[in-house]
Each structure stands twice: as structure tokens, then as C-alpha cells.
A and B are shown apart, each in its own frame.
Chain A
Amino acid sequence: MEYLKVFVVGGLLCVIGQIILDTTKLTPAHILLTFLISGVVLGAIGLYEPLVKFGEAGATVPISGFGYALSKGAIEGAKSNGIIGVFVGGLKATAGGISAAILFGYIMAIVSEPKTKS
């Protein structure tokens, strides 16, 4: 049941992205940023939290979950450390993923060769 909820929530978020991709001229980069900022805004006004409670990884693994983690971190930082916390909180909450992306991304780009496009 848990995995079913994760599957449906994560799948539906991606379907929304696919519909935007197929019916508009927006590129995947536009869609990533739209999802990201939607996550920040919905997280800020408290609408993303219920989705995370219900869908767990289905809501946190998509990039909108990254936006949600950033804005949640910024707000929690504000609560505990005021204005300094605002600047520290968002990146602190997402630091693991970002550091991993930089290190592993760099290493994989160095050790592998681009595949010929078919």
C-alpha cells in the first residue's frame, strides 16, 4: 500500500510534466524549473507538505520535492536563527544531494565517454 501511494503520486507528477512537454513548446529545462519553483511556492504556503505525508518518496524524489526541501529549510532556519537562518537553512537541508551531484557528476563525466547518438 505504501509503495502503491509512492508510485501513484510520483507517477502522476511526472505525467503532469509529460503533458506540459507534449502540449507546449517548453523544453525539459523549463519543466524542471517550473516544477522546482512550484515546489518552493507550494512548500511555502503549506500545500506540498500533505502530498509528502501521503506520497512520501513519490513527492520528495521529483524535483518539486527539492524545491519543497529548500523552502522548508529556509522557513525552519528563519524560525530558529532569524535572517541568518534564512540564508543557511535551504541549502543545509539539501546539501547532501547537491554535494553528491557535484562530486559524482564530475567523476562520471571524467571517466565516461559520450555515447554516439542514434
Chain B
Amino acid sequence: MENMNNKEYQKYVEQKIPKPTYAKNMLFAFIVGGLICVFGQIIGNILSNYGLNKEKVAAGTSIILVFLGAFLTGLGVYDKIGKIGGAGAAIPITGFANSIVSPAMEFKKEGFIFGVASKMFNIAGPVLVYGVGSSVIVGILYLILTKGG
């Protein structure tokens, strides 16, 4: 170390600076997110083959994906997928299940009401508030625009 000249030191510092990982993050988000969606499609196709109608296929697929997201979070596997996939693991509905189980597990010590049941909705709560709220507004606007009030 002490025998380094300026140029060598510059080189040494450059090696230590973390490289921007945008490209890598994007690639992994693409692969992980894409694969989770393909998995959803496979589940949907299997359910259709059992003769379920479109509505049941959509609901059944969500239920199974949510179950898997919650289950893998409980095992600690989903957090590992999240570390690799970033947004690719957060944005699919399995990530929604992860956002419910993770805080609920962490805050278990605070009891079954204010620990588990309340912390489950740390992120799911805002999702329901803004999702349901905005969709009801959409429906009302639709009524006003199509029937003139």
C-alpha cells in the first residue's frame, strides 16, 4: 500500500468504487418479473384445462400466487428472490403477499392484534385505500359521463 504511486493509487480507488449496477438490476428485474408472470400463466392454463371459466381462472390464479408468495416469505426464500430481482419480485402479486407477511412476522412480539393483524396492512392498507378508492371514483365518473348524472 505505502509504496503505491499516484497512478496506482487511482487505479486502486477505482476498483473500490461500486460500479453502477443499473444494467444488472434491470436484467434481473426483467428475468425474475417475467418468470413470475410466466408461472402465473402456467397456473391459469392448468385451471382452464380443468374447465374453469375465465372469472374462476383469474381468481384461482391470484389465490395460488398469493399463497406461494406468502409461503415463500415465511420460509425466507422470497426475500432472497427479492434481493436478486428487486422490482421484479416486488411488483407481481406475489410481492403483495410478501409485503403482508414480512412486517406481520417482524412485529409478532407486539401481539396478535396490534402486532400481526395490524402490521399485515403496512403496505396492503395503502394499496387497498388507493386502489379501491380510485376505482370507485372511476366508476362514478363512468356513470356521470355515460348517463349525464
Chain A residues at the B interface, C-beta cutoff of 8 Å: 2-3, 6-15, 17-23, 28-29, 31-33, 35-37, 40-41, 43-44, 55-58, 60-67, 69-71, 73-75, 77-78, 82-83, 85-87, 89-91, 94-102, 104-115
Closest 8 CB pairs of A and B: A14-B33, A10-B37, A11-B34, A86-B139, A96-B59, A74-B139, A97-B62, A109-B104
List the A side residues contacting B22 at CB < 8 Å.
19, 22-23
Chain B residues at the A interface, C-beta cutoff of 8 Å: 22, 25-26, 29-38, 40-42, 44, 58-63, 65-67, 70-71, 73-76, 79, 85-88, 90-97, 99-101, 104-106, 108, 116-117, 120, 123-124, 126-128, 130-132, 134-136, 138-143, 146
List the B side residues contacting A15 at CB < 8 Å.
26, 29-30, 33, 87-88
> B18: shortest Cβ distance to chain A, in Å?
13
Given pairs A32-B96, A86-B142, A112-B105, 13 additional interface contacts (CB within 8 A)? A10-B92, A18-B86, A28-B87, A29-B99, A33-B130, A57-B40, A74-B135, A95-B59, A102-B100, A105-B124, A108-B101, A111-B74, A112-B73
CA distance A95 to B132 in the complex (A): 11
Dominant secondary structure at the B interface: helix
Tell whether A57 pairs with B131 under 8 Å between CB atoms, given A78-B142, A86-B136.
no
List the B side residues contacting A98 at CB < 8 Å.
128
- A7 engages B34 (CB within 8 Å): yes
- A36 engages B131 (CB within 8 Å): yes
Q: Which of A73, A85, A97 sits near B135, CB closer than 8 Å?
A: A73
Tell whether A17 pairs with B29 under 8 Å between CB atoms, given A108-B70, A115-B76.
yes
Q: Which of B35, B44, B60, B126 sits near A29, CB closer than 8 Å?
A: B126
